[in-house]
Structure 1
Amino acid sequence: MALEIEQQNGGASFAALKPQLMLPAGKADEAVQFYKTAFGAEELKRVSHPKRKADQELPLILCAELKIGSASLLVCDQTDDSSCAAGNDSGSGIVFRLETLDVEGALEKAVKAGAAKEGEIVEDDGACCGGVVGKVKDPFGVAWIIASASKAADVEA
């Protein structure tokens, strides 16, 4: 569930927490359709994988944002080149996405608290809905994406 929070985190203020389901490649569209039918989800936006559109009848989904009630959920196809990969070997999982204006500060605070930084902060111009993205894994093995607010344009399926 997306929780709108106005909480100060030692200098980093978070605007949203959004669970992000990482599904085996090719399953995200099926999941989106299921959530629409089963739970009345409303699809707010969809970003398709730019390199794979020509190769497939249904392109892989980098990020589909759904609204169920007052909550948001991101649904994505896991790809080898996804900057928002779940960081596990099963090809599926859940990642939590925190949106903030101070990605670097939030990452530093998480690392100081015991999280392990995964990779570098990148400017992501499409995957995971765009913006500046960094990743950490908490001491319990849970993957977290800390990113600037989504800025990718809506793309119809």
Structure 2
Amino acid sequence: MSDTVSSMPGVTPHLTIGDGKAADAIDFYKAAFGATEQSRHLEEDGARIMHAHLTIHGGALMLNDHFPEMCGGAPAAVPAAVTLHLETDDADAAWSRALEAGATIRFPLDNQFWGQRYGQLTDPFGHVWSIGGPMTG
């Protein structure tokens, strides 16, 4: 087993960010979710990110700029059926931090019938995130 596999067990989300905004996405994920940048690899001219590896609450997140020349010129498309979940001890604090960083509300944060404080946000790059944690009062 390689070091890469052992350092990222399970399934790791890998996001493609459109419009050359991967660097902006990294800044957003740092501000919104407390991400830590592990590595960043640029294309030869330094204009786009070929690969970046972040960690958020101990979990891996990979991302890159969209390279239309690698997919027949097709534009970047955000998957409509994917939600990235962030489990935290304080959903309200995580929620506020994400909104302050530029996320928008998709499904309001509230105590849910299944026993969790939960809501969904859309990041400035179109990706959907859910935040969950213990119920409050």
Name the one with the larger helix percent. Answer: 2
Q: TM-score, normalized by length of structure 1?
A: 0.40
Name the one with the larger strand percent. Answer: 1
Structure of greater Rg: 2
Q: TM-score, normalized by length of structure 2?
A: 0.46
